[in-house]
Amino acid sequence: MSPADPAQAAPVLLVEGAGFAYRTADGLLPPVLADLRHRVPAGQMHTVLGPVGAGTSTLCRLVTGLLHDRGETSGTIRVTAPRGDAGTAVMLGDDPEAQLTGMTTRVADELQLPARLHGVSAATARSRAEAAANDLGITDLWDRRVTELSGGQRQLVALAALLGLQPDLLVLDQPGLSLDPTMRGRLSAMLRDYCDAGGAVLVTGHQVDEFATAADQVLALGPSGLASLPLTADAVRAAGVWDARAASAPAPGPTPTAGRRGAPLLAVRGLHAARGDRPVLRGADLDVHAGEVVALMGPNGAGKSTLLRSLLGTLDRRDQVSGTITADGVDLARLPTHERSAHLGWVGQDPGAQLSAPTVRDELMRAAPLPRRPRHVRDEAIREREKQVQQLMRAAGLVEAADEHPFDLDAAQRKDVVIAAALLRRPPVLLLDEPTLGRDAASMSRLVGLIDMQLQRGGGVLATTHDQHWAQAVAHRQLHLDSGRIS
* Domain identity same for 49 and 139: yes
* Domain identity same for 297 and 159: no
Query: By residue range, what is the domain housing residue 113?
Result: 11-243
Mutual angle of helices 107-117 and 151-163, in 10-degree steps: 30
Block means of pLDDT (10 residues each) for the chain, length 487 residues?
50 97 94 97 97 95 94 96 89 81 94 96 97 94 92 92 96 92 91 95 96 97 96 95 78 62 90 92 96 96 95 92 93 93 94 94 92 76 93 95 93 94 96 95 95 96 96 95 95
Name the nearest CA neighbour of 207 among 176, 232, 166: 176
Q: What is the model's pLDDT at position 34?
A: 96
Q: What is the model's pLDDT at position 260?
A: 58
Residue 253 domain-assigned? no
Contacts of 304 (CB under 8 A, 6+ apart): 150, 296, 297, 298, 433, 464, 481
Name the nearest CA neighbour of 160 among 192, 137, 182: 137
Residue 69 domain-assigned? yes
* Domain identity same for 194 and 285: no
Q: Which CATH number do you get for residue 63?
A: 3.40.50.300
Rounded to a whole number, what is the largest CA-CA distance in the chain?
Answer: 81
* Domain identity same for 386 and 438: yes
Q: What is the model's pLDDT at position 252?
A: 66
Angle made by CA atoms 223, 441, 222, in degrees to the nearest 5:
10
Q: What is the model's pLDDT at position 140?
A: 95
Q: Domain total for the chain?
A: 2
Residue 2 domain-assigned? no
Q: What is the model's pLDDT at position 187?
A: 93
What percent of the chain is helix, strand and coil (3-state, nearest 5)?
A: 35, 25, 40
| pTM score above 0.95 | no
Name the nearest CA neighbour of 13 among 90, 85, 65, 87: 87
Q: What is the model's pLDDT at position 4?
A: 39
* Domain identity same for 419 and 356: yes
Residue 1 domain-assigned? no
* Domain identity same for 225 and 274: no
| Positive or negative: CA dihedral 334, 335, 340, 346 | positive
